[in-house]
Amino acid sequence: MTAHTRDPGRSDRVALYSGYRPEVQGLRAVAVLLVVIYHVFVGRVSGGVDIFLLISAFFMTLSFVRKIEGGRRLDIPRYWLHIFRRLLPLASLIIVGTLVLLALFYPDTSIRDFRWQGLASVFYLQNWELASASVDYYAADHSTASPFQHFWSLSVQGQVFLLWPLIFGFAWWVRRRTRISSVPVLAVCFGLIFAASIAYSVVTTETQQAFAYFDTRARLWEFALGSLIALAIPYLNPPRIVRIILGWVGIVSMVSVGVLVDVQGAFPGWIALWPLLSAAAIIVAGNTGSPFGFDRFLSWWPVVKLGDAAYALYLVHWPLLITYLV
C-alpha cells in the first residue's frame, strides 16, 4: 500500500503549495532594483531589502510545506549545507574583492576599521558588528560607510535560514505524532513570531533606532509575514479584476514609499509594513493571465532572469558605490 493510498488528501495538500511563481521571482528583481536605485541616486531607504527578506521566507515556506505534507523527511542538516554552499562562494568572492578595493583605494584608518567586518560577513554576523558599533545607516556622507555594510541583511537572512528549518522540523514532528496538517501549526508559530517581533521592533526603533535597524529580532516579523503569506496563498483567490487592481496598487505603493515618506529613524518599525504589504498585494494578485495585469511585466523572461541574478547584483552594487565615493 502506497503513502498516497493511505492518505488520499496528501497529494492535494502538496499541490496547493506547488507551482513555479515567475511573477514573484520578477518581484525579487524589482526589489533589488529599488535598493540599487535608491542607494545610488536618491540616498534614501526604499524598503526593497525588506521585500527581499519577505520573498526569501515565502519561497522557503512553500518548499518546506511541500516536503512536510508530502510525507518526506526534511533532512535539515542537508538543507543547511545546500543553502550555504549555494550562497557562500559568491559572497566570499565579493568579500575578497572588496578587501582588494580596500587595499587599493581606502585610507589606512578605513582599512583597520573595515577589514574585520569582512570576517564578520563571512560568518553572517555583520549585522551584529554594525549594531554594536552604533553605525548610522542613514549617514548623509556614504563615503565614510563600510563597503561591507550591505552584508547586514545577508547576515540576518543567514541566521533565519538556520532558525526557520527548526520551526519546520517542529511542525513535521507534530504531524508525525498527531496527523495534524503542518499548516495550522506553522501559522500559529509564525503568527506568534510576527506579533512578538513587530512589537519589539516598534519599541526598539523608538528608543534605539540605530541598533534596531541591524537587530535580527527586530526583523524576524518580516520573514514571519512572508511565511504567513505562503501558508495563506493557496486559499486566497479573489476575482480576476480585484487581482489586477491589487497588482497595480501594490507596485505603485511599493515604488512610492521611499519618495513620499522620509523613513529615516522609522525603519524597521511599523512603517516597514508599507513596502511589505505592497509586495503582499502583488503576491496575492499572482498570475492574472490578463494583458493589463502588472504580473505580465513581472513574468517577462528578462525580468525573471534579473530576479535570478538579484543576489549577485545586491552583493556587488554597494562596495562599488562606496569605492566610487571614496
219-238 pLDDT, tens digit each: 999 999 999 999 999 888 89
More confident residue, 256 or 81: 81
- Determine the Cα–Cα distance for residues 120 and 128; give it in Å rounded to an integer: 9
Average pLDDT over residues 286-302: 91
When comparing pLDDT for 271 and 161, which is higher?
161
Q: Mean pLDDT, to the nearest integer, of 27-34?
A: 89
Highest mean pLDDT among 27-36, 134-143, 183-192, 252-261: 183-192
**How many Å apart are CA 69 and CA 298, to the nearest integer?**
29
Average pLDDT of the segment spanning 33-52? 77
Question: Which residues, 6+ apart, have CB-to-CB distance to 254 below 8 Å?
Answer: 30, 34, 47, 51, 275, 278, 279, 282
Write phi, then psi, for 137 (nearest 5 degrees): -65, -25
Closest of 232, 43, 39, 60 to residue 157, by C-alpha: 60
* pLDDT for residue 2: 34
Return all residues near 176 (Cβ < 8 A) that are at least 6 apart: none
Which triple of cell numbers denotes residue 66?
Answer: 511541500
Q: What is the pTM of this model?
A: 0.90
In the numeric block, the cell 521611499 is attached to 258
Tell me the pLDDT band of 37, cut-offs 50, 70 and 90. Answer: confident
Contact predicate 247/279, CB 8 Å: no
In the prediction, which pLDDT does 83 show? 93
Cα distance between residue 199 and residue 221, in whole Å: 9
Q: Has residue 157 got a pLDDT over 90?
A: yes
* Confidence at residue 44, expressed as pLDDT on a 0 to 100 scale: 62
How confident is residue 1, by pLDDT bands cut at 50, 70 and 90? Answer: very low
Give the pLDDT of residue 3: 36
Residue 200's pLDDT is: 96
Distance CA 148, CA 276 (A): 25
Residues 295 and 247 sit within 8 Å (Cβ to Cβ): yes
Q: pLDDT, tens digit, for every residue of 158-172?
A: 999 999 999 999 999
Question: Which of 34-43, 88-97, 249-258 has the highest average model confidence (pLDDT)?
Answer: 88-97
- Place 33 in a pLDDT band, splitting at 50, 70 and 90: confident
Quick check: 113 pLDDT over 70? yes
Question: Cα(32)–Cα(281) distance, rounded to whole angstroms?
Answer: 18
**What's the whole-number mean pLDDT along residues 80-107?**
92
Q: Kindly state the DSSP code that residue 17 receives in the 8-state scheme.
A: T
User: 62 pLDDT band (50/70/90 cuts)?
Assistant: very high
Average pLDDT, rounded, for the chain: 87
Which range, of 67-76, 84-93, 107-116, 150-159, averages the lowest pLDDT? 107-116
Q: Residue 246 and residue 282: Cα distance in Å, rounded?
A: 6
pLDDT of residue 262: 66
Q: Say how far apart CA 281 and CA 105 lie, in whole Å.
A: 44
